[in-house]
């Protein structure tokens, strides 16, 4: 009988192959290290008609050895400014919270992690979260308070969106950069000048 860890590794390998074969146009996935199926690198494209449109954001998914019985942790590597993303990049979304009742009685058990969820359902939920943040239960209070139409909201999101191109290395089905190199160069100069103030 295979261990939980071996079963999880097989399931993750299958989910990765499925994603790469049937991939969506708004995300790409790959292993950080070919020998470790529990650590994935993700690239999400910012959803259209949002503050994140045009960005390509790197994230990591770290899976527990007993996946799918426990949820993975998703953390953006790219700088993000969003009400439901902690300042360290960790994503705060119900689907990634442990199964069962919410100790704070905010989320219903059906909104939290269930073993039927897949990497694809997680990424679809995060894309949806980028488009429609939950400002009632923010992980980043400052981002929730200064949400659009606040004058700084668009500038902060644009900062993250443009910065996302500076460390982009394409892999998988997502292969085009939505922000030109000249925009990145201009942005870096503007960012440096505002940091010097």
Structure confidence by residue, pLDDT tens digits, 115-147: 999 999 999 999 999 999 988 888 998 888 877
Q: How many CB atoms lie within 10 A of CB 188?
A: 14
Q: Are strands 27-33 and 36-45 parallel, antiparallel or unpaired?
A: antiparallel
Give exposure, 128-161, as e/b (b: 16+ Cβ within 10 Å): ebbeebbeeebbbeebbebbeeeeebeebbbbbb
Any catalytic annotation for residue 184? no
What is the biggest distance separating any 2 CA atoms in the chain, rounded to whole angstroms?
A: 62
> What is the domain partition of the chain in residue ranges?
4-195
* Average confidence score pLDDT of the chain: 80
pLDDT score of 182 more than 70? no
d(CA 35, CA 82): 33
| Among 48-52, 71-75, 111-115, 164-168, the range of highest mean pLDDT | 71-75
pLDDT in tens, 16-61: 999 888 867 788 899 999 999 999 999 998 888 888 888 899 999 9
Q: Tell me the pTM.
A: 0.76
Q: Specify the CATH class of 4-195 in words.
A: alpha beta
Report pLDDT for 172.
Answer: 41
Q: Which of 92, 160, 165, 184 is catalytic?
A: 92
């Amino acid at each position: 009988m295979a261990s939980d860890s071996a079963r999880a590794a097989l399931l993750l390998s299958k989910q990765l192959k499925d994603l790469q074969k049937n991939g969506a146009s708004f995300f790409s996935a790959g292993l950080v290290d070919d020998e470790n199926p529990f650590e994935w690198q993700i690239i999400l494209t910012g959803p259209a008609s949002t503050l994140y449109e045009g960005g390509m954001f790197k994230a990591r998914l770290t899976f527990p050895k007993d996946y799918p019985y426990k949820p993975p942790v998703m953390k953006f590597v790219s700088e993000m400014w969003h009400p439901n993303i902690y300042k360290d990049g960790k994503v705060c979304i119900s689907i990634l919270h442990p199964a069962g009742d919410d100790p704070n009685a905010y989320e219903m058990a059906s909104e939290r992690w269930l073993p039927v969820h897949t990497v694809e359902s997680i990424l679809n939920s995060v894309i949806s979260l980028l488009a429609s943040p939950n400002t009632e239960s923010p992980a980043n209070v400052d981002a929730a308070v200064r949400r659009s139409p606040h004058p700084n909201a668009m500038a902060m999101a644009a900062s993250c969106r443009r910065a996302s191109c500076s460390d982009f290395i394409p892999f998988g089905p997502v292969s085009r950069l939505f922000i030109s190199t000249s925009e990145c160069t201009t942005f870096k100069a503007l960012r440096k000048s505002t940091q010097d103030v």
